[in-house]
Each structure stands twice: as C-alpha cells, then as structure tokens.
C-alpha cells in the first residue's frame, strides 16, 4: 500500500495496553477538531470529533481530550488491538473556513 | 449507503500532460473537498465545493482547478503536470461543509514521470 509518511512520529504499544496520541493544533480560533485513522491503501477514516465548547468526548474505546489553553488535542485508545495499527491524524476547522487543517500524523504500531 | 468513490484509483502521466480526477460523494452530501497527500507535506487542502460553487481554495497554483456538477459529483483537473504533483489525491464529502463529519474516498494515486 501507499506510504502516508516516511518520517512520521511513531508510537509503539503492547497489545492490550492503552495508547495516547497527541497533537498540537495551530489556530486558537479553531472550534471543531477531528481524529482520523488511515490504514495503508485507504483514505482517512473518521474516528471521533469534538467541538470547542467541550473538553472531553468519549466513543467506543476512544476518548478525545481538548485543552484550548495550550492548543492541545489527544486521542486515547483503550485496550489497543492489532487492527488499531495505522496512521492517526488530528484535524482542525475554523467555522466558516470550509477546510480542514491536518497535523503531520502519528504512526501507531502494535506489538504482540 | 455507498461511500465516497473516486476514479481512477491509479494513474500514470508524464510531465506536461494534464489529468482529470473524479469524485462521487455520498448520496445527499452537497459539499465536496479535495486534498493532496504527500510524504513530505502531509494532507493539504486544495478546494471545497458546495452546490456547484467553490467556497474555499488552498495555496496551490492555478494549474489545479476543480468543479462540481448539479448532482454534487466533482472533478479536479491538473494541467501541465510536474514531477512534484505525484501524490495521493483524496476527496471528502459531507452534508454541508467542513464543520460536519467528512467522509473520505480511497483516493487516486497519481504518478508523474
């Protein structure tokens, strides 16, 4: 499949452990944030989103935390599974801008 | 419900040629966005269309253009191809824009020789 990034930061975790992927966003006026997962050969897949009036949102096995003070976003994946291996991107949107600005991505690898 | 489809999936062109890529959004979605993905630059926004109108454009040269049809399908065109245009071109659709969940297609892998 395609390589989505030759020099991406990499996070290696043991299967069953929790993973935390971090992202610093660029625009303090951004008010919508999304995490995407991209597997080799596929387009980005929506995982979870959060709006700026919240600081935490939970989904199935995933939690997103937003710290607007330091412009930081994190994705927590509980009980990491082999199928979680992928590149994870954060993205931000400024209302009215009609575009997403993506972070550089983090490659998550799962050790058996 | 069918997802976002992009054609062709793979394309090989030579420098100086032009190329047209196609995107069919999810039924009912009126916003279509295009992104370029390269190892060096990551995911970069190209443009966004809604109801046949371009609402936003990224920092790409005028060789990159697009359009949207009345059925929300979209095409993007790159003229006078350069080696640096080699990339994965991704299309995303949403109900009304980037402030809603965007669904991505599998992309078109363009190689310029």
To the nearest whole number, what is the mean pLDDT of chain B?
96
Phi/psi of residue A21, nearest 5 degrees: -115, 130
* Torsion of Cα atoms, B74 then B3 then B86 then B46, to 10°: 50
* Residues B63-88: tens digit of each pLDDT: 999 999 999 999 999 999 999 999 99
Pairing of strands A56-58, A10-14: unpaired
- pLDDT of A3 reads 35
- pLDDT of B96 reads 86
Residues in chain A: 112
Selected residue of A7, A38, A64, A99 to mutate for chain B interface (largest B Cβ count, 10 A)? A99
C-alpha–C-alpha distance, residues B107 and B22, integer Å: 10
Q: Which residues of B touch A42 (CB under 8 A)?
A: 106-107
| Confidence grade of residue B1 (pLDDT, cut at 50, 70, 90) | low
C-alpha–C-alpha distance, residues B79 and B62, integer Å: 9
As a whole number, mean pLDDT of residues B8-25 equals 98
- pLDDT of A97 reads 84
Q: How far is CA B75 from CA A75, B33, B72, B100, in A?
A: 33, 10, 10, 21
Residue B70 in tokens: 């009345």
Q: Is the pLDDT of residue B47 over 90?
A: yes
Nearest to B56 among A95, A97, A104 (CB): A97
> Chain A: which residues have CB within 8 Å of chain B?
2-7, 32, 34, 36, 41-46, 49, 89, 91, 93, 95, 97-105
- pLDDT of A74 reads 97
Question: How many beta-carbon pairs below 8 A join chains A and B?
Answer: 72
As a whole number, mean pLDDT of residues B6-15 equals 98
Q: Tens-digit pLDDT profile for chain A (112 aa)?
A: 333 345 689 999 999 999 999 999 989 999 999 999 999 989 999 999 999 999 999 999 999 999 999 999 999 999 999 999 999 999 999 877 889 999 999 999 999 8
> Cβ B98–A99 below 8 Å, yes or no?
yes
| Confidence grade of residue B58 (pLDDT, cut at 50, 70, 90) | very high
Selected residue of B29, B33, B37, B50 to mutate for chain A interface (largest A Cβ count, 10 A)? B37
Selected residue of A9, A44, A51 to mutate for chain B interface (largest B Cβ count, 10 A)? A44
* Closest alpha carbon to B90 in B77, B109, B68, B72: B109
């Amino acid at each position: 499949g395609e390589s989505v990034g030759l020099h991406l930061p990499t996070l290696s975790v043991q299967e069953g452990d929790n993973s935390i992927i971090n992202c610093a966003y660029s625009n303090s006026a951004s008010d919508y944030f999304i995490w995407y997962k991209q597997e080799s050969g596929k387009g980005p897949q929506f995982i979870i989103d959060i709006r700026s009036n919240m600081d935490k949102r939970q989904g199935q096995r995933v939690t997103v935390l937003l710290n607007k003070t330091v412009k930081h976003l994190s994705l927590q994946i509980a009980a990491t599974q082999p199928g979680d291996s992928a590149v994870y991107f954060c993205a931000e949107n400024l209302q009215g801008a009609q575009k997403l600005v993506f972070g550089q991505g983090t490659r998550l690898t799962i050790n058996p | 419900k069918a997802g976002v489809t992009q054609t062709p999936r793979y394309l090989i062109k030579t420098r100086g040629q032009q190329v047209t890529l196609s995107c069919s959004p999810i039924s009912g979605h009126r916003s279509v966005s295009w992104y370029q993905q390269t190892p060096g630059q990551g995911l970069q926004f190209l443009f966004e269309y809604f109801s046949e109108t371009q609402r936003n454009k990224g920092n790409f040269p005028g060789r990159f253009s697009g359009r949207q049809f009345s059925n929300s399908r979209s095409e993007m065109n790159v003229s006078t191809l350069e080696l640096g245009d080699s990339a994965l071109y991704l299309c995303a659709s949403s109900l009304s824009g980037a402030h809603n969940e965007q669904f991505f297609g599998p992309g078109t892998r363009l190689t310029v020789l």
